[in-house]
Amino acid sequence: MTTRIFVLAKNVFQEVIRDRILYIIGFYALILAAAFGILPQFAAATEDKIFLDFGMAAMNAIGLIVTIFVGTGLVNKEIEKRTVLVLIAKPVSRSEIIVGKYLGLSAVLAVLIATMTVIYLLFLQFGKVAHPTASILIAAIFLFLQLSLITAVAITFGVFTASLLATVLTFAVYLMGNITQDLVQLGRLSRNLGIERLTQALFLILPDLSRLDLKNDAVYGLQALPDTTALIINAGYGLLYSVMLLAIAIVIFSQREF
């Protein structure tokens, strides 16, 4: 089973790379170079902080775009083109298909984020911008965990909805997942029992992506690393949520008739 999953993951990895996804890395380098030249003209006093923030935000945005648009089509594309019939006719289970595609895209994201992080740190070093290297590396690792979770969301929606709808729903989950804690506070402030219950339900159902977002720690928490215990708990939360979503995707995919 491990060999079959590895082959599926390898095929996804090679397919995404062939689709010129790594050209995005060059695009990331270009926008960093542009920001490096333009920011001093508009914010001479705070250009270092703005560049730190911009570099992390651009990395997040690019990774999210790749995750959503590629992830929602991993299984859905096979279903729409009917090539899924070829896959399920082979000695491979449907659960292996889901896991293999998830691991393949996760490998692409790992390469993408690692490369962008190296480029980002090189720009910071070249520009002599004070930066907490350890915090940036930790933030990059947690960005990978966050995007891996969104990959699981995208695959789950892609299993039973059309590509466009899966894309919209995945993006909505990402937006809502970043403000779940704010939703709970909003429900409490509303003093309305119905709204409060609704926001609490959304908090329990939606992934709390803010737990995997350490950009602010990297940009504004110079020389201050997050608590190790909290990091381990939050990383475990992200991994567990991804596993749960994949389990749901496997159940739905297993029940589909083609």
Q: Are 5 and 96 in contact (CB under 8 A)?
A: yes
> Which residue from 5, 4, 8, 27 is spatially nearest to 16, judged by alpha carbons?
8
Structure confidence at residue 258 (pLDDT):
64
Backbone torsions φ then ψ of 22, nearest 5 degrees: -75, -10
pLDDT of residue 43: 61
Please indicate, yes or no, whether the overall pTM of this predicted structure exceeds 0.85: yes
pLDDT at 223: 46
- Give per-10-residue mean pLDDT for the chain (258 aa): 85 84 89 84 67 90 94 84 76 88 95 95 86 87 96 94 91 90 77 80 86 81 67 94 95 84
User: DSSP secondary structure string, 101-163?
Assistant: HHHHHHHHHHHHHHHHHHHHHHHHHHTT----HHHHHHHHHHHHHHHHHHHHHHHHHHHHS-H
Residue 126 and residue 117: Cα distance in Å, rounded?
A: 14
Q: Give exposure, 6-20, as e/b (b: 16+ Cβ within 10 Å).
A: eebbeebbebbeeee
